[in-house]
Amino acid sequence: MRRMVIARLAWTVAILLGVSFVAFMLVRALPGDFVQTSAGAQNVASDVLEAARRELGLDRPLLEQYLIWLGNAVRGDFGYSFVTRQPVVGEILPRFVVTFQLTLIAGLIAMAMGVATGLASARLRGRADWIVRLYNGFILAVPNFVVATLIVLVVGLYFPQIAIFNYTPFFTDPLANIGGLLLPALSLALAVSVTISENTRAAVLEVSGQDFVMVARAKGLLPRTVLANYLMRNALTPIVTVTGLQVATLLGGSILVETIFAIPGMGQYLFDSITSRDYPVIQAIVLLASAVVVIVNMFVDIAYARIDARAQS
Amino acid sequence: MSKADPILRVRDLTARIVTRKETFQAVRGISFDIGAGEAVGFVGESGCGKSVTARALMRLAPEGTAIALDGAVDFHGQDLLRLGEVAMRDIRGRRIAMVFQDPMTSLNPVMSIGAQIDDIVCRHMGLSRREARQRTVELLASVGIPDAAHRADDYPHQFSGGMRQRVLIAVAISCDPELLIADEPTTALDVTVQAQILRLLLRLRDERGMSLMLITHDFGVVAGMVERVNVMYGGEIVEAGPVEQVFHAPGHAYTRALLDAVPRLDSAGQKQ
Ligand SMILES: Nc1ncnc2c1ncn2[C@@H]1O[C@H](COP(=O)(O)OP(=O)(O)OP(=O)(O)O)[C@@H](O)[C@H]1O
Ligand SMILES: [Mg+2]
């Protein structure tokens, strides 16, 4: 177990290095750098632009820029935003917390809905199965920004007493904060919950047909014991796996949903930073987001080994 | 050990497998008795309805299969086919237990061996966790698992096929059932292990005085093991009687064909 955790950590570091390098090169490959973008349509003398580049260190070779950035990042220094001239960490952190909260709530909703509907459709069969599958097929066919927009419209029109665009910071009023995130989280969660539901259904059906389930019933065990220890414990592995993989989808989707619901998370900020070519900020957001995805998947692998002894070797 | 006091009396048992398209009659009105402490063999080719019969006695069916049962399964005077599901659950594993055909797929891969015996013991005998584990270790030792106390924490993938079948036998005998149904318990094992498992079953039956319903498609297996044998063909019992009689003077053409299929290592003189 410990060896596995260490190996996974090393793997995580390698992935994050790779991601940061690719992100670094990609944003610099965009046409027009920060200096040129901020000059905009004005006619600025080229030696002024050059001076500005020198000041920001953008005149050095790319690899050197990357190594300098990496050296600082390792020590927790992600530099200053080109735009606001404030430390990147201080700019991003509060926004990251908001996005993280949104993603977390959406993840929990998706998991609860997905496992419940998937289990119901596999166990009850017949009409329940039919309804769940129809619903899943429908949700899957509709992109989640459409769902989000529909929620905004429907709630806005028919339930005006619910304030949709009213984001409350967590420390001002935790309940209002979570309550305000529920609708955006729901619209984010629907598509993911369908994926989890379909996978849960398939996993439970697959396990139900296994011999050991009949052995469990032949033992006279109570139905809830059979369900928990024989069916679900075996179905859990594929369910946990897809859930882990969906974290990236949730993070990506949160950018859209934040825009629609006017939530001050990383989404809008990332968009603005890319438009203004604010390299240090883009770099930090990309790194942070991939760190979340990679770390979640590391936990998934560890959970795996805890669920199934065969995965430890 | 006589037919005088059967613990199980099956009359006109039919089992129809109902699918969306059709109904298939897998068991067609069979009747038989099993006496206390008696070992009865069921022999027949693949697909003749042996497993469906065995599962019908415990009212089990594979997930997603609807089976309609008819007739009577009289166990100590109560008809199991008319018993409520809750009462039936108290009989399964406690008074009638079953060993299945394939030990490789019959154990839950994500639970330790010990936990899979603890749960049935806790369920039926009302023991605490610790007492249950103690009993589990004794059971594992009695079916011939060496170093049982430690091996109980292992997982199925760490056990060989023969050892897994021993574990499943330990599960089945854990609550001292009156009737043990063994559905082709050795088919999936290699020949040397088959003999060990059969000897183990016989020894346990003698020690514990349980009745044994031994299902097989191999006449060679039942010959030395059971008192009486029922020959099944196409969902019916076509011949029944003491094993010597059926063996030496088969009355039914199908039984003769089955007997001819048994490879003989000894002299050919047994055949008539
Ligand atoms: N779940 C099921 N769905 C449809 N048909 C089934 C099902 N289970 C059994 N049958 C049919 O019922 C008949 C009897 O099957 P059963 O499993 O009892 O045979 P068996 O005598 O145990 O054979 P084997 O020696 O191969 O185990 C077979 O013809 C089989 O095709
Ligand atoms: Mg069978």
| Domain at A244, CATH number | 1.10.3720.10
Sign for the CA dihedral angle at A228, A231, A237, A242 comes to negative
- Report, as an integer, the average pLDDT of B157-164: 92
DSSP string covering A253-265: HHHHHHHHHT--S
Domain count, chain B: 1
More confident residue, B252 or A20: A20
User: In this complex, is the C-beta atom of B165 within 8 Å of any C-beta atom belonging to chain A?
Assistant: no
pLDDT score of B212 more than 90 = yes
* Pocket probe mutation, ligand 1, options B19, B22, B48, max atoms within 8 Å of Cβ: B48
- Residues A30-57, mean pLDDT to the nearest whole number: 79
The reported pLDDT for the residue numbered A213 is 95
In a domain, B196, yes or no: yes
Cα(B68) to centroid(ligand 1), Å: 14
Q: Cα A73–A76–A82 angle (5° rounding)? A: 65
Whether B264 shows a pLDDT value over 70: the answer reads no
Q: Out of A191-195, A254-258, B26-30, which region has the weakest mean confidence (pLDDT)?
A: A254-258
- Whether residue A71 lies inside any domain: the answer is no
Query: pLDDT tier at A313 (50, 70, 90 boundaries)?
Result: low
Ligand 1 atom closest to the Cα of residue B64 is 1
As a whole number of angstroms, the distance between CA A12 and CA B252 comes to 71
Nearest 5°: CA angle at A114, between A113 and A118?
Answer: 115
Residue A79 lies in a domain: no
pLDDT at position B114: 95
Rounded mean pLDDT, B135-159: 93
Amino acid identity at A85: R
Nearest to A229 among B62, B119, B124 (CB): B119
In chain A, which residue's Cα lies nearest the Cα of B175? A219
Give the range of the structural domain holding residue B254, as residue numbers without chain letter.
38-53+92-260
Has residue B14 been placed in a domain? no
Kindly report which listed range (A259-268, B97-106, B141-150, B262-271) carries the lowest average pLDDT score. Answer: B262-271
Binned at pLDDT 50, 70 and 90, residue B176 comes out as very high
Q: What percent of chain B has pLDDT over 70?
A: 94
Structure tokens at A283: 């770099």
Which B residues, 251 through 270, put their C-beta within 8 Å of a C-beta on chain A? none
pLDDT digits (tens, 9 = 90+) for B8-64: 999 999 999 998 888 999 999 999 999 999 999 999 988 999 999 999 999 999 888
Mean pLDDT of B226-252: 88
pLDDT reading at B1 higher than 60: no
- Do the beta carbons of residue B268 and residue B253 sit within 8 Å? no
Q: What is the pLDDT of residue A216?
A: 96
Q: Which one of B20, B24, B28, B69 would you pick to mutate in the ligand 1 pocket, going by the greatest count of ligand atoms within 8 A of its CB?
A: B24
Residue B221 lies in a domain: yes
pLDDT class for A197, splitting at 50, 70, 90? Answer: very high
| Residue indicated by tokens 């952190």 | A93
Inter-residue long-range contacts of B28-31, CB under 8 Å, 24+ positions, other chains counted:
B28/B234, B28/B235, B28/B236, B29/B71, B29/B236, B30/B230, B30/B232, B30/B235, B30/B236, B30/B237, B31/B237
CA of A1 to the centre of ligand 2 (A): 40
Q: In chain B, whose CA is at the least distance from the CA of A308?
A: B110
Position A34 scores a pLDDT of 81
Q: Is residue A195 part of a domain?
A: yes
Looking at residues A173-202, what average pLDDT do you find?
A: 86
The length of chain B is 272
Is residue A25 in a domain?
no
Pocket of ligand 1 (CB under 6 A): B 17, 24, 26, 44, 46-52, 62, 65, 184, 217
Q: What is the CATH number of the domain that holds B44?
A: 3.40.50.300
Strands (E), chain A: none
Question: What gap in Å lies between CA A209 and CA A88, rounded to an integer?
Answer: 54
Output the pLDDT for position A304. Answer: 80
Q: What is the mean pLDDT of residues A169-175?
A: 75
Quick one: CA dihedral A69, A73, A74, A77, positive or negative? positive
Q: How far is CA A100 from CA A247, A300, B55, B67, in A?
A: 11, 18, 52, 51
* pLDDT surpasses 70 at B269: no
Instruction: Tell me which H or E stretch contains A220.
Output: none
Q: Euclidean distance between the first and final Cα of chain B, in Å?
A: 29
Instruction: Enumerate the β-bridge partners of residue B69.
Output: B15
Range of the domain at A173: 88-312
Identify whether B267 is part of a domain: no
Contact B92 A216 (CB under 8 A): no
Q: Could you tell me if residue B155 is inside a domain?
A: yes
Total structural domains in chain A?
A: 1
pLDDT value, residue B68: 93
Q: State residue B256's pLDDT score.
A: 79
Residue-wise pLDDT tens digits, A71-81:
988 888 888 88
Q: CB of A8 within 8 A of CB of A275?
A: no
CA distance A205 to chain B (A): 9
HSE of A250 in the Cβ direction (CA atoms, 13 Å)?
Answer: 32
Is B3 inside a domain boundary? no
Structure tokens at A258: 């934040």
Q: Say if the Cβ atoms of B63 and A214 lie within 8 Å.
A: yes
Q: Are B82 and B75 in contact (CB under 8 A)?
A: no
Chosen for mutation from B19, B83, B98, B110 (greatest number of chain A CBs closer than 10 Å) is B110
Chain A residue with CA closest to B92: the answer is A220
